[in-house]
Every structure is written in structure tokens, then in C-alpha cells.
Chain A
Amino acid sequence: MKKNIFLIILVVILAILPLFFQKGAEFGGSDDQAEAAITKIDASYKPWFSSIWEPPSGEIESLLFCLQAAIGAGFIGYFIGFSRGKQKKVESKEGKGKHVTH
């Protein structure tokens, strides 16, 4: 599992580095940039449909988004615990089995 810790540190470094390379950058979403690019290429283009519902504020948006991460991570954590427990049970059963036959 040491290998995994190393790998996760690598991911964190990858995420932090741009903050140093691009000091003062906005770090907005790249879809906003694409929107701007479309308007540049075709200035007459008007979006012909708009979203049915939008989160009323940035706060609500980040609430929904935190919830997503939390529930997803919760399931992954549950899965990891479940798998480890199952494995342990199998191992201890095998151990007992061997003990009996010997």
C-alpha cells in the first residue's frame, strides 16, 4: 500500500503545481472559455435553449457538489471496508480449515 500513498501524493503535486506556474490566473472553468471562443468565431450565434433549472446561488451549487463528493467517497470507503472484511473472513476460514486437516 506504500505504492498507493506515493501515487496519491503524485496526484496532489500535479494539482498544486499549476497554482505556482500560473500565478494570478483566474482558474475559472474551461467551458466558459469555450463559450467565449464560440462567440468569437460566430458573433451572431445566440444560444437557442437555456437550462430548465439553475442552482439559485454559487453556495447552493457548491452544496450540491460537496454532497456528490461526500456520497461518492462514502460508497468507496464502504466498499473498501467491506472487501477487506470479506478477505479477512476468507483467510481466517482457510486458516481454520488447514488446522483441522493437520
Chain B
Amino acid sequence: MYRVKKLINWKLLYFLVVILIVPKPAFAMHIMEGFLPIEWCIFWWALTIPFLIIGFRSIRKTIAENPETKMMLGLSGAFAFVLSALKIPSVTGSCSHPTGVGLGTVLFGPFAMSIVGFIVLLFQALLLAHGGLTTLGANAFSMAIVGPLISYGILKGTTKLGLSFSWAVFLAAALGDLGTYVVTSMQLALAFPSQVGGFFASFTKFSSIFAITQIPLAVSEGILTIVIMNFLQKYNLAELQALKVLKKGAEQS
């Protein structure tokens, strides 16, 4: 019982309240309500649900093992909220926003962000009519599942290659962000293959809308993630080591 009480800590509560009251407007990503045929909606929902269960377990485990990292989970959520509120003009002449899930992925692994990203997308769909409930499965799959998985893979890969921690974090966040929009383009191309040229023609079209707009923003997200990481390395070294983000005795890179 005590443990349960500890779990419902006020910081977590604050974080949940933040997510509940504050919607995430997305002017530039995610598939719009009604714009995905029903069979595809069901397909993406079915793919997303198992990851949500894994994500929930992952968060519960991390918090049970390292209760001191709850604040940092809140930070990951807050970071995603702020970044997704930044509608930044892009070179294509339209606006888009970063996803902000890269930071949380670096800190808590790829699955924790499935829950955070999902909640963010849910309330955005409910309160701002951006994205939608029927397309939520597809949108969560691209932003909260594939994005973090790409980030995590890049982080592990680049660290193995011997890249500095900052560069690894930058590439992980930037490419995870970009990957989300590439997946969104793929999802739309699968549902709407062009009569001439099929899937690839459509994919080129959608990715020129989503992915190219996203390139400078992905770079921005990478940079902002480094800024927060620099701070965490300076002031929250103990938590980073507890989460095994940095090895014990690791110095600032």
C-alpha cells in the first residue's frame, strides 16, 4: 500500500494534470481525423496497443527501481509539450513542430515514451481537433513508437561507433523526429496509393510535404535536446547514472 502511495506521488500527479489540461496543437503533423480509411485505422491501432502495454510496464518498473527519477520523467513530458507547441516555419514555406520525444527516449528507453506520446496525442485530438481518435493509432505508432525506437537505435549505434555522447544524443533526437514524419508519409501512401506510380509516387508526394518540412526542425530538436542534456549532466549526474544513461564515473562529454 505504501508503495502504491509512493507511486501516486505529487510530481507524477502534477505531470498528469499538465497532460490532462494542456492540449497539444499540431498544425503540421499527424493524420487528420477521418482522413484514413477505417481498415487502416484498425490496423495501426492493433499495432499500437501492445506497445502501450509494454510502455506502461516499462515506466512502472523504472519508477519502482529509481523513484528519484520521477522528476526527470516529468521533465521528459514537459519537454515534449513545449517542443510540440513551437510551430516553426520551415524552408518549404509551411510550418511544423518538433516531437520532443527524443529526450525521454534517451533517458527512459524507447518504450516509456509510447505512453507519454500517446497521452499527448489523445488530448490533442480531443481538445484541439488536431489529429483524431480514429487516426490516433496511426499517429501514436509514428510519433510515440517508431520515433523513439529509431532514436534509441541511433543512440546505441552511434555510442558503439565511439561518437561523443552529445553527438549521439543530437543524432538520436533529430533522426527520431525525422523518422516520425517519414512513417506518417508512409502511412498515408499505403492508404492512398497513387493511380499512376502507386505507393512510391504517393510516398514521394507525402514525404515532400511532411519529411522535407521537418528536416530543419529535426535539427532544432536535436540541438534543444543537447541543451537539456548538458544541463542534466551538470546537475543530475546521479539520476543519469541510476538510469544507466551514463556509466558510473563518466565525466561530462
Contacts and interface: CB of A to CB of B under 8 A. Distances in A.
A25 B205 contact: no
Nearest to B237: A87
B249 to A, nearest CB: 17
A47 B32 contact: yes
A47 to B, nearest CB: 3
Nearest to A75: B78
Contact of B223 (A11, A37, A51): A11
Contacts of B2: none
B70 to A, nearest CB: 11
B162 interface: no
Interface stretch (B51-59, B107-115, B148-156, B188-196): B188-196
Contact of A4 (B33, B125, B230): B230
A79 B75 contact: yes
A17 to B, nearest CB: 8
Nearest to B181: A30
B157 interface: no
Nearest to B85: A69
A45 B192 contact: yes
Interface string B67-109: 0000100110011011011111111111110000000000000
A55 B129 contact: yes
A38 B94 contact: no
Contacts of B216: 14, 17-18
Interface string B222-250: 01101110111011100000000000000
B25 to A, nearest CB: 4
Interface in A31-87: 31-35, 37-38, 41-42, 45, 47-55, 61, 64-69, 71-73, 75-76, 79-80, 82-84, 86-87
A70 to B, nearest CB: 9
Contacts of A83: 231-232, 235-236
Contacts of B236: 83
Contacts, number: 198
Contacts of A71: 18, 21-22, 78, 81
A61 B216 CA distance: 25
Contact of A27 (B89, B192, B234): B89
A52 B192 CA distance: 24
Contacts of A95: none
Contacts of A65: 23, 25, 85, 128
Nearest 6 pairs of A and B residues by beta carbon: A47-B34, A25-B93, A29-B27, A72-B81, A72-B82, A51-B129
Given A21-B91, A55-B129, A76-B82, 5 more contacts: A8-B227, A28-B27, A48-B37, A65-B128, A72-B22
26 contacts: A11-B223, A14-B219, A14-B223, A18-B91, A18-B92, A19-B89, A26-B94, A30-B28, A30-B96, A30-B210, A31-B28, A31-B29, A32-B94, A41-B194, A41-B205, A51-B129, A61-B128, A64-B23, A69-B86, A72-B22, A73-B82, A75-B15, A75-B74, A76-B228, A80-B235, A87-B234
